[in-house]
Amino acid sequence: MLPSETPSESPALRADAEKNRRRLLTAAREVFAEHGLDVTLDDIARHAGLGVGTAYRRFPNKRVLIDELLVEQLTTMRDIARAQLDAQDPIAGIRGYVQEVVALQVADRSLKQVMFASDRGQKRVEEARAGLGPAVTALVDRAHDARLLRDDVLASDVAMITLMLSVVVDFGRGYEPELYRRYLEWLIAGILRDGPATGQPPIAMECFHSAMLTFKMGAAPKPQR
């Protein structure tokens, strides 16, 4: 099912090696979910009950392992967006997409980092990331066609809403995991045709993409030496 689970390597691995490869992938998913992407391969190996050496032999470096899983998660999110195209109410579709994606973040700390990662990855990761945008745009277009949204609303608004709610999830983690639902309603109300007037237009899509490239959650570029 999952592409990363197939023993795709050319020289078939020995049975025990293949088993350990999967254990590493599973362990990585769990550790990423609990602690985010900023964990060491050593952490993952320990959680899998294996030695570091095993981890590094199987995956040349940490990025390869991470990228393996990023593709998985980005695909999941794209599928969520596509599924919401079938919602009867286009607005419910948008709300449903945001709600489901943010709900996933409650259980998985790495998801936010995956969506808003600035570091370019492998080709496969970029392809997967590129698939998410159009799916969200389709949701927004559908709501526009039904004349439910204010004219200036763009897909970037949905992305920004997701981003804002991500921080709420992070903030309330361990205390109020569902807090984001409160602000979700306020923000969804904002995009509606009869929502509150705003002088400020949304960020243009090209501009949004540029910003994505330089954005790093809660970090600033260091001063040049």
123 binds a copy of itself (CB under 8 A): no
The partner in contact with residue 167, picked from a copy of itself, DNA, none with C-beta cut-offs of 5 to 8 angstroms by kind, is a copy of itself
Nearer to DNA, 1 or 15 (CB): 15
Among residues 42, 79, 119, 176, the one that binds DNA under rule CB under 7 A: 42
The reply to whether 168 sits near a copy of itself by the rule CB under 8 A is yes
Question: Does the protein bind DNA through residue 159 (CB under 7 A)?
Answer: no
Which residues are registered as beta bridge partners of 44?
A: none
Q: Which stretch binds DNA (CB under 7 A): 54-62, 114-122, 129-137, 196-204?
A: 54-62
Stretch that binds DNA, among 49-57, 70-78, 161-169, 204-212 (CB under 7 A): 49-57
Name the one range near DNA by CB under 7 A: 35-43, 93-101, 124-132, 161-169.
35-43
34 binds, among DNA, a copy of itself, none (CB under 5 to 8 A by kind): a copy of itself
Chain residues binding DNA by CB under 7 A are 13-17, 20, 40-42, 49-54, 56-58, 61-62, 222
